[in-house]
Structure 1
Amino acid sequence: MAFCLKYRGRRFTTAALMGALLLLAPISGCSSAAGGEPPCFPPAYSLTPAEATLGDKVTVAAPDADCNPRYGMNARIQVSLTDASGAEVVKATTAMNDAGGFSYTFVVPLRAVAGDAVVTAVPYNIDWCDDTGRNNRVAASGDVLPERVSCVIPMQPLAITR
């Protein structure tokens, strides 16, 4: 009889735990309850080529997102190149479409230090990394700009040779 009660107790505890998880799921960080649409991160971008010599052209590009980031008609992307010494040798903004798609070509500066470099591309001057479940890509009103929330800046490696 004790075994039966223990078994029933475990089954009840498991059912209660599952019920609690289902109730809490809508208020977790990735829910879509706070505004309809789920979080929509920027699309992954690529580099062409992945290895370049000083003075070569490198293209950074991303397709449109599969979700609806709503960056707006005047959206911009900030692209930067940090060389092997840690110096930021390219920092530019360029047009990005409402869905996050863009293409930008830069020349690896002759002053860049050869070795393992990093290219970053992030939406400019907007909250591009939202893990709160809200879509904050709509332009801020007034003088208050949205701020980034917890996430890691996406980076692509670029091998710079002489």
Structure 2
Amino acid sequence: MGIFRVLRKPSQLAFLGFWAVLVPATMTGCNSTPDLPPPCMPPSFSTSVSEARAGDSVIISAPAATCNPSYGAGAKVEISISTDSGEKLLDTKAAMEDNGAFEYSYRVPKTAKPGVLSVSAAPADVDWCDDTGTNNRLKDESDIERTSCEIPVRLLAIVD
């Protein structure tokens, strides 16, 4: 009864009523899409070796994610390999499991010169970058715009 003795004017009671409705409504949670799973980054990929010679095979792979990325049936990973001068040696899409796991074998060209190659691998045709705090996977969209993530890169040294 103490608060109502202080608030005697109708406008004061209306103001109190407004806040009594607004505060609990905003405290129900931050998730604006409760039917979607939480954000899930793709699993980190690796190369089987950090150094290779011309003609060697290198396995590029990733384990299953510990969360549920739900890439779907027919999911693909986009793999790119470039020289330090920017020349693309490989730009392909390979099979990936719904959970983000994949394995791809790459043979270093016999004509490869010593140097450093940049290897990148990321889920293809989906906005895989869920670092914004919301689930932003956009399957089957044509104009996907990646959020703030950078494409993950591993370095592979080609030696004599």
| Class of the TM-score when normalised by the shorter of the 2 chains | 0.7 to 0.9
Residues 97-129 of structure 1: CA distance to partner in whole angstroms, max 9, x if unpaired? 000000000111234342121100011111111
One-letter identity of the residue aligned with 2:33: A
One-letter identity of the residue aligned with 1:34: T
Residue 138 of structure 1 and its aligned partner are, at CA, apart by 5.2
Mapping of 1:1-162 within 5 angstroms?
Answer: 32-35=31-34, 36-137=36-137, 139-140=139-140, 144-162=142-160
Identity %: 41
Is contact 2:125–2:139 with CA below 8 Å preserved after alignment?
A: no
Residue 92 of structure 1 and its aligned partner are, at CA, apart by 1.5
Residues 27-76 of structure 1: CA distance to partner in whole angstroms, max 9, x if unpaired? 5xxxx543442211110011011111111100001001011111001100
Structure-1 separation of matches of 2:45 and 2:76: 14
Is contact 1:127–1:137 with CA below 8 Å preserved after alignment?
A: yes
> TM-score by structure 1 length?
0.73
> TM-score by structure 2 length?
0.74
Unaligned runs of 5+ in 1: 1-22
Q: How many residues were matched structurally?
A: 133
One-letter identity of the residue aligned with 2:93: T
> Which runs of structure 1 show a deviation greater than 4 angstroms over 4 or more consecutive aligned residues?
none
Residue 80 of structure 1 and its aligned partner are, at CA, apart by 1.1
RMSD (Å) for aligned C-alpha atoms: 2.1
For the pair shown, which has the larger CA radius of gyration, 1 or 2?
2
Structure-2 separation of matches of 1:91 and 1:110: 18
Q: Give the match for residue 5 of structure 2.
A: none
